[in-house]
Structure 1
Amino acid sequence: MLKHVELDPSFSLREQYADTAGKTTVLLNVFDVAPEDAEAFKRAWQQDAEFFKRQPGYISAQLHQGIGNSRMWFNYAVFETTAAFAATNDQPEFGPLRAVYPDSATAHPHLFRRVVIPGICVGEV
């Protein structure tokens, strides 16, 4: 089963759901997975991503694997708003998806918004 550890212990994922800005929200989820569980992790993540893809407000997702023998993975998923992402957690299908992950997997999720840096980055903040 997937373990959940806050990426920022001072501001939980649930606390972030209170955001009402109505702007595009990016979920960044950093995973630590034992190398022998890599294939099982990818299968579980695919099921998770297929669930998210069916949700209102979903825009896209991408999974990344650490180079070499790294145990680290991350994904980012883009949603129209924080509320659209938060609503996914109220779906009855969501909870059981945690059980399909290998026991070695730990997730560190956090929500972000793109930042504008003139001439370098486009964004909303």
Structure 2
Amino acid sequence: MSLHRHARAVTYCRHDAASRRATSFLNYLLKEMEMVKFVELDPAVGIRDQLASSVEGPLTLANVFHVAEADVDALLAAWEDDANYFKSQPGFISTQLHRGIAGSTTFLNCAIWENIEAFRAAFNNPVFHSKLGNYPESAATSPHLFQRLTVKNLCVA
């Protein structure tokens, strides 16, 4: 399903006010993100679905970036600008950028947020929209939201 058709499908499936606002923004964002290729990490549940959801507790944003070698410095500059913006937003806890080893031009950003409402507000902010054009043309991004899990004897949420 194309991103535009998927966004329309989300519009018809979500009925509460927060979901309608998130979907409306995401329809707008699709046009803004044409400079940044947007690739869903999970084809069944996209970032638009996640933004329209209501969950309790802290979230981790995992965002994978791919970029051409010649555009690495431009990607890093755009990411740093975004990170400084998000750092100033209520509910932001932390972020960490990782780069693949052995000359890889794949990057992973992990950011922790207090809750979905805080992330949604920061992500929907027009200041953030305006920053999307700073990413190099070769950049592709795959943002996805996660919650920590408890697995007995291994990890706790």
The TM-score, its normalising length taken from structure 1, stands at 0.92
Match of 1:24 among 31, 36, 58: 58
Q: Give SS of 1:78's match.
A: strand
Q: What one-letter code is carried by the residue in structure 2 that aligns with 1:53? A: K
Q: Which has the larger share of helix?
A: 2
In structure 1, what is the Cα distance between the partners aligned to 2:46 and 2:89?
A: 22
- Relative contact order, higher structure (CA 8 A, sep 6+): 1
Q: Give SS of 1:93's match.
A: helix
Match of 1:97?
Answer: 131
Write out the 4+ residue segments of structure 1 that deviate beyond 4 Å after TM superposition.
Answer: none
Kept after mapping to 2: 8 A contact 1:32/1:106: yes
Match of 1:84?
Answer: 118
In structure 2, what is the Cα distance between the partners aligned to 1:20 and 1:95?
A: 22
Q: Which has the larger share of strand?
A: 1
Q: What one-letter code is carried by the residue in structure 2 that aligns with 1:44? A: A
> How far does the alpha carbon of each residue in 1:44-101 deviate from its partner, in whole angstroms, 9 at most, with x for none?
1000001111111100000000101212111011000112111112212011111111
Sequence identity percentage: 44
Q: Which runs of 5+ in 1 are unaligned?
A: none
Aligned pair count reads 123
In structure 1, what is the Cα distance between the partners aligned to 2:56 and 2:90?
A: 14
Larger Rg: 2
Q: Give SS of 1:74's match.
A: strand
Cα deviation, residue 3, structure 1: 1.8
Match of 2:86 among 52, 57, 66: 52
Q: Give SS of 2:83's match.
A: helix
In structure 1, what is the Cα distance between the partners aligned to 2:146 and 2:124?
A: 20
In structure 2, what is the Cα distance between the partners aligned to 1:101 and 1:32?
A: 11
In structure 2, what is the Cα distance between the partners aligned to 1:36 and 1:17?
A: 32
Match of 2:47 among 13, 29, 36: 13
